[in-house]
Amino acid sequence: MYLMIRFEAGVVVDAVVLARGENTLRVAISGMGDVIELTQFGQRWYTELGEAVQFDCCVSLSQASEPVVARALTFAAGRAAV
């Protein structure tokens, strides 16, 4: 799954989801040498340093390898609904 992540400072980055837990996402961000972990508290997601992030876009590949773009992302109880 591919994400566009918007940081509080307004920076938007492309990322790939490597792993997903109940309230966590482990993502690799284009141009960064290390992965980061995002954690959900309530309806918000935060970096390891406590910076709030938003998800601008989510793209996943179906089994037929055709791109599927989610129109809206909502996260409830740690599960993504697309």
Q: What is the pLDDT of residues 4-36, one digit of tens each?
A: 999 999 999 999 889 989 899 999 998 888 899
Question: What residues contact residue 38 under an 8 Å CB cut-off, 6+ apart?
Answer: 5, 24, 25, 26, 27, 45, 46, 47, 53
What is the total count of domains within the chain?
1
* Residue 38, domain extent: 2-81
pTM (global) more than 0.75: no
- Please state whether beta strands 35-41 and 24-29 pair in parallel, antiparallel, or not at all (unpaired): antiparallel
User: Residues in the chain, how many?
Assistant: 82
